[in-house]
Homo-oligomer: A and B are copies of this chain.
């Protein structure tokens, strides 16, 4: 019975890791839909997000069962409580990727992001995608150094966001209000995906050490 319980717990973690893989793909695909104005890919990301929501619901139910039937304590309880939180974070990251895809679809066949901003978004998307991947690997390996490295990635994200605003609010923004609004909201979506990845890294630190990491203004 004890073995079955451990297996159930491991299976929840594995499914969260696999969910983070799916979110990573969603971030990559939504970016491609956005920067190449590909509405078929946009549609797929939006449809797949519903599947992700169902997976998240299933994981939550299994965490609930674990709590109910096994009454875990200490380290194992930390894992289940953190799994509940990370499950919600991953579902939210999926929603944000779908938001990006929806902007792509709305502006199709135009490309929502003006040419001057595309390198900025390409880089933002690369970082977000890598951070989601790192969050998943961190969860799998419970590697604290990797989890701490997630916070460093976020600084580059902040820099990119700042340079985005400089371009947007410069005197020579030639693309009009609609493009400005799209860029502001799209930048926000990527920024939030990165925030959630950082938060997942902090959760892993908490699972392994039992301590809430320092400087967690965004905690929980």
Contacts and interface: CB of A to CB of B under 8 A. Distances in A.
Nearest to A95: B218
Nearest to A54: B219
Count copies of this chain in the complex: 2
A77 B73 contact: no
Given A68-B74, A181-B184, A53 B217 contact: yes
Interface residues of A, number: 37
Nearest to A78: B64
Given A67-B67, A67-B77, A178 B188 contact: no
Contact of A68 (B50, B56, B77, B212): B77
A74 to B, nearest CB: 7
A48 interface: no
Contacts of A74: 68
Nearest to A81: B64
Listed from nearest, the 8 A-B pairs whose CB atoms lie closest are A71-B71, A181-B184, A177-B180, A88-B220, A184-B184, A68-B73, A173-B177, A169-B178
